[in-house]
Amino acid sequence: MKLRRGRRFTVLSLMVALTATMAGCSAEPTDAAEGGSQAAAIERSASQMHDALNEFSQGANDAHLIDDEELRRTIPAAQSWLKDIKVNPAECGPIMDIPLAEQLAGATMALLETDEGTVAAAAFKDTQRLKDQLAKDDELSSKCTRYTVLRGDKHVAYHLAKQPVSSGAEYSRAHLLTSSDGSAAMQQMVVRAAHGNLMVTISQPLDRKNQAQQLEQATEDADRVLELVRNQQ
């Protein structure tokens, strides 16, 4: 992964990277199927999450690592920002109806940010809840491929296009997220991989000339970060 001078993360990058959502989605926990079983959640400390991303960024200059404590300090501002927006159509409202404090209270996280994009890693306490949230996100993403976010007199139109992805993780998704405020458009490649209670999200500005290669590399990177988090001692 090529790293350049780090940049400060934004409210939107926090939401996309660290909540169990591709474009923003909340979900209520459900009980696991009766008689079913699941692997025990892997517990990771804030320092272990930081160390995993630090190891991933070895050999690169100017990477900006953001630890669990610093990320949590942004939650109140992010939650305040979310209260001031509306989503059209209304059925896509859950895209931005994200209880950040609630979702992230049960997670340990870290974020690596560079001019190439963001790499986020999170270890959730409740494996089943993460799986439920990801399933809800799949449902919402399939029906809300186009929506508009309004805040005051400003509006931004979004288009979410699912991309083919092949990963070694239990769960993997990739989307091309296009946003436009009427004067300029931006496209991001978002790759998410989850295994058990661990989740990694990579978000990068789209490389139009090398889109297929970018997707393949981002998927490999997501799998690599999952491995590094699992192997932390």
> What is 42-231's CATH number, 1.10.1060, 1.10.12, 3.40.1000, 3.15.30?
3.40.1000
Give yes or no for residue 61 having a pLDDT over 70.
no
Q: What is the pTM of this model?
A: 0.85
C-alpha to C-alpha distances, 28 to 25, 103, 128, 223, nearest whole angstrom? 10, 10, 11, 27
The closest alpha carbon to 166, from 112, 209, 218, belongs to: 218
Rama region for 85: left / alpha / beta (φ>0; ψ in -120 to 50; rest): beta
Specify the residue for token string 């991933």. Answer: 56
Specify the residue for token string 């089943």. Answer: 128
What are the tens digits of pLDDT across the range 145-201? 999 999 899 999 999 999 999 999 999 999 999 999 999 999 999 999 999 999 999
In angstroms, the CA 30 to CA 146 distance is 28
Which residues have CB under 8 Å from 222's CB, separation 6+?
167, 169, 172, 191, 192, 193, 200, 201, 202
Q: What percent of the chain has pLDDT above 70?
A: 82
**217 CB neighbour count, 10 Å cutoff:** 18
Amino acid occupying residue 209: K
First to last CA, the chain: 24
19 falls in which pLDDT band (50, 70, 90)?
Answer: low
What are the tens digits of pLDDT across the range 99-116? 777 777 888 999 998 778
Question: What is the per-residue pLDDT for 17?
Answer: 62
Question: What is the per-residue pLDDT for 30?
Answer: 36
In angstroms, the CA 128 to CA 132 distance is 6
Residue extents of the structural domains in the chain: 42-231
Orientation angle between helical segments 11-18 and 75-83, nearest 10 degrees: 100
What are the tens digits of pLDDT across the range 115-143? 788 899 999 998 998 898 899 889 989 99
Phi (first) and psi of residue 108, to 5 degrees = -115, 135
Question: What is the per-residue pLDDT for 20?
Answer: 56
Q: What percent of the chain has pLDDT above 90?
A: 55
Question: What is the per-residue pLDDT for 206?
Answer: 96
Question: What is the per-residue pLDDT for 10?
Answer: 55
